[in-house]
């Protein structure tokens, strides 16, 4: 089967109203392939602005959510709230949530369940630290992160999940996994899904790469058979994001 290429932007804790309006104007005027699914992840406070102004063939994502629909959880945002203000997706399990904030794989899995229940689609991030790669435990780490989710959702739920493999040592560092390194891990993830879930899920689930992706280095990686797109950090705040969206063209 042919998996629809998927490109997401993750703005992290960046942006101002003025800068976002300018960037949206650039994105809206850009010429992009019709066979690529595009999602922009933005800080909570800018989601309504994006939902109202961004081109309608692109979707908006929250960058995180909590595990309850409402209640006394000061500072948290529920998946229902994200959906209410126009988000269609949410990014969960990003390495900065895991390794800076200290969220566990089990907590991430709970968020995945609640986000899906609220009608959101999920970008599930997995990836290893530099010391884990150097120790040869990349796949053990990634499989463990996947396991927490595999154990908590139904097979049918995978149709609403995109996996983003993001080696932590390549995020914001300028270092990029080589196309062969990305392909190797993506193929291993697909094989693990086949074993742990089903052949159907393994074949249909899109596995994207993230980690210092830019307009210059994306094209070769995009050609790899198990790379189904990108989750883009810093470059998604620049006009060159259009070039990444068009990486397969």
Whichever domain contains 160, its CATH number is: 3.20.20.70
pLDDT digits (tens, 9 = 90+) for 215-230: 999 999 999 999 999 9
How confident is the model over 33-61, as a mean pLDDT?
A: 97
Closest CA to 158 of 105, 198, 131, 126: 198
SS3 (DSSP) at 173: coil
The single residue of 63, 132, 166, 186 carrying the catalytic annotation is 166
166 classed as catalytic? yes
Structural domain including 176 reads: 5-245
Work out the widest C-alpha separation in the chain, in whole angstroms.
Answer: 48
Do 118 and 78 meet the contact criterion of CB atoms below 8 Å apart?
Answer: yes
SS3 (DSSP) at 161: strand
186 classed as catalytic? no
Q: Tokens in use for 53?
A: 């102004």
pLDDT range class, residue 98, cuts 50, 70, 90: very high
Distance CA 142, CA 15 (A): 31
pLDDT digits (tens, 9 = 90+) for 162-216: 999 999 998 888 888 899 999 999 999 999 999 999 999 999 999 999 999 999 9
pLDDT range class, residue 4, cuts 50, 70, 90: very high
pLDDT digits (tens, 9 = 90+) for 57-97: 999 999 999 999 999 999 999 999 999 999 999 999 999 99
pLDDT range class, residue 1, cuts 50, 70, 90: low
Q: How many domains does the chain have?
A: 1
Average pLDDT, the chain: 97
Do 42 and 63 meet the contact criterion of CB atoms below 8 Å apart?
Answer: yes
The single residue of 37, 94, 103, 132 carrying the catalytic annotation is 94
């Amino acid at each position: 089967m042919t998996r629809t290429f998927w490109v997401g932007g993750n703005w992290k804790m960046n942006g101002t109203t003025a800068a976002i309006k300018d960037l949206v104007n650039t994105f809206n005027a850009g010429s992009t392939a019709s066979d690529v699914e595009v999602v922009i992840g933005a800080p909570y406070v800018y989601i309504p602005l994006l939902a109202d102004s961004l081109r309608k063939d692109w979707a908006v994502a929250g960058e995180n959510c909590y595990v309850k629909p409402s209640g006394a959880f000061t500072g948290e945002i529920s998946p229902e709230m994200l959906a209410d203000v126009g988000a269609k997706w949410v990014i969960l399990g990003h390495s900065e949530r895991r390794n800076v904030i200290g969220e566990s794989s089990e907590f991430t899995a709970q968020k995945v369940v609640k986000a899906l229940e609220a009608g959101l689609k999920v970008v599930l991030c997995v990836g290893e630290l530099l010391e884990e790669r150097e120790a040869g435990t990349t796949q053990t780490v990634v499989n463990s992160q996947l396991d927490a989710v595999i154990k908590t959702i139904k097979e049918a739920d995978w149709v609403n999940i995109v996996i983003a493999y993001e080696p932590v040592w390549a995020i914001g560092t300028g270092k990029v996994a080589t196309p062969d390194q990305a392909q190797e891990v993506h193929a291993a993830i697909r094989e693990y899904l086949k074993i742990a879930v089903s052949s159907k899920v393994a074949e249909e689930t899109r596995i994207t790469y993230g980690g210092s992706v830019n307009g210059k280095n994306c094209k070769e990686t995009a050609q790899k058979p198990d790379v189904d797109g990108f989750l883009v950090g810093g470059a998604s705040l620049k006009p060159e994001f259009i070039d990444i969206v068009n990486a397969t063209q």
